[in-house]
Amino acid sequence: MAAKGVAPALTLSSGHQMPAVGLGVWRMEKPAIRNLIHSALRIGYRHLDCAADYQNEAEVGAALAEAFESGLVKREDLFITTKLWNSDHGHVVEACKNSLKKLQLEYLDLYLVHFPVATRHTVGTTSSALGDDGVLDIDTTISLETTWHAMEDLVSMGLVRSIGISNYDIFLTRDCLAYAKIKPAVNQIETHPYFQRYSLVKFCQKHGICVTAHTPLGGSTANTEWFGSVSCLDDPVIKGLAEKYKKTPAQLVLRWGLQRNTVVIPKTSKEERLQENFEIFDFEISGEDMDKIKTIDRNYRTNQPAKFWGIDLYA
């Protein structure tokens, strides 16, 4: 068990270490980013999960630059992730350099293919490229294999230390392993007690791919507002076990994620939640109770891009 205030780290196939608890900046309001990130760093967070599509890389970069300048933290002590957006699959190097410029960094610790789909290239925006029919305008001239080999080039260029995938199912992950010269270090997916995805998680781990849970709390407040989701935090089993361990339901669910050997990156815009989400290293869920949580799986996805794109990538 990690010391209090220190997140354990998982060693990636690239040889680099990734803190097992990070802070996701999705939907983080721009004016609040500086204080939230600085508070997180003071608490002990050393892993930040960003994306071009979140449209706040510049604000995150400014907060990091100030943290480095003030001595709050050193660059080498942080693990920074960002992601390639759908419309940039044919412009991987350009997109990566643009993210680096906004984040004010010389290299990324991890760069992910955000979704396994290439769309019509758009300049200066990450808005989903929809056709006249309101359906995602997919670029059929760019294969995921082509995109991956461009991602591999980023490593040899020294722009990125590790590369990975996001929202890939078993079959797309298997294909990536087949054509990869550098295998994906990470697959970032939705997984939580209501959407446990046992087969995908075990497949990735068997093949040396670290799983990161980008929605580790399931239908938390943010997702319920955004997608109208049911929250696993209200489940009687989760609430009962949280009471048993004298923790909040969110802390219990995050600890469950850690004990599955996955990385968790909860998102919050509340400073008090930053502390709560980090206080998960001082207890351990028993094997019997891990089995209880396994029984509440509903195969229930909360993150539904189909709502906005007119296409279900998971169908």
Q: pLDDT tens digits, residue range 122-131?
A: 766 666 667 7
Query: For the chain, what is the mean pLDDT?
Result: 90
Would you say 149 is a known binding-site residue? no
pLDDT, one tens digit per residue, over 209-238 is 999 999 999 855 554 554 456 789 999 999
- Collect all residues with Cβ–Cβ distance below 8 Å to 291 and sequence separation of at least 6: none
Report DSSP state, residue 192: B
pLDDT, one tens digit per residue, over 2-16 is 444 678 999 999 999
Whether 314 sits among the annotated catalytic residues: the reply is no
In the predicted structure, residue 303 carries a pLDDT above the cut 90? no
Residue 43 is encoded by which pair of tokens? 């608490």
Rg (CA), the chain: 19
Catalytic pick from 54, 111, 168, 194?
54
Q: Can you count the helices (H) and strands (E) in the chain?
A: 12, 10
The Cα–Cα gap between 287 and 57 comes to 40
Nearest to 40 by CA among 27, 51, 49: 49
Q: Which helix (H) or strand (E) holds 111?
A: strand 108-113
pLDDT, one tens digit per residue, over 51-108 is 999 889 999 999 999 999 999 999 999 999 999 999 999 999 999 999 999 999 999 9
Annotate 198-265 with three-state secondary structure: HHHHHHHHHCCCEEEECCCCCCCHHHHHHHCCCCHHHCHHHHHHHHHCCCCHHHHHHHHHHHCCCEEC
